[in-house]
């Protein structure tokens, strides 16, 4: 499998994985992984399909979270994260690593917003507890059965 095919498989996993598994590093230096909404999943979030088609980094990952959460505290202290997308039935997955950015741009936050998210952020898009994270991965590791392929990305 060449790098072009691996990248195609990676995009497919991003668009079909039921969850995005976010790993941050806690205050003691231990990794903490949790399942998050996979905003790239075309079935679950069709509202964002056009947004991701226009995103200049085809592997960019966006994650909404609470500013009051441990995730936010972790990335403020150590922005190095990993996000994993997988098809567990096929034992296939791709992990992206890099340093996450905290999105401050309100216009961008508006593009990654759904009205029903007020159950998490009662004051809406401008809720101080709504944080949008963006990962422009520096590297990726693709796994399928017994094969592992690593590649560098590095594009913001």
Tell me the per-residue pLDDT of 31-90, one tens digit each, with 9 for 90 and over.
999 999 999 999 999 999 999 999 999 999 999 999 999 999 999 999 999 999 999 999
Rounded to whole angstroms, the Cα distance separating 96 from 41 reads 16
- Structural domains for the chain: 3-152 (2.30.110.10)
| Predicted local confidence at residue 17, as pLDDT | 98
pLDDT digits (tens, 9 = 90+) for 98-155: 999 999 999 999 999 999 999 999 999 999 999 999 999 999 999 998 889 998 887 5
Average pLDDT along the chain:
95
| Predicted local confidence at residue 145, as pLDDT | 84
pTM for the predicted model, two decimal places: 0.94
Strands 130-135 and 80-87: unpaired
Other C-beta atoms lying within 10 Å of the C-beta of residue 14: 23
């Amino acid at each position: 499998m060449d790098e072009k095919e691996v990248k195609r498989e990676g995009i497919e996993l991003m668009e079909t994985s039921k969850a995005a598994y976010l790993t941050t590093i806690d205050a003691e230096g231990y990794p903490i992984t949790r399942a998050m909404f996979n905003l790239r999943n075309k079935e679950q979030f069709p509202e964002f399909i056009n947004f991701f088609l226009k995103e200049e980094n085809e592997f960019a990952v966006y994650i909404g979270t609470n500013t009051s959460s441990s995730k936010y505290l972790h990335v403020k202290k150590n922005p190095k994260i990993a996000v994993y997308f997988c098809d567990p039935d096929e034992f296939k997955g791709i992990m992206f690593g890099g340093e996450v950015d905290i999105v401050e741009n309100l216009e961008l936050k508006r593009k990654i917003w759904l009205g029903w998210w007020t159950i998490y952020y009662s004051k809406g898009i401008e809720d101080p507890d709504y944080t949008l994270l963006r990962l422009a991965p520096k590297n990726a590791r693709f796994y399928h059965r017994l094969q592992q392929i690593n590649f560098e990305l590095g594009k913001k």
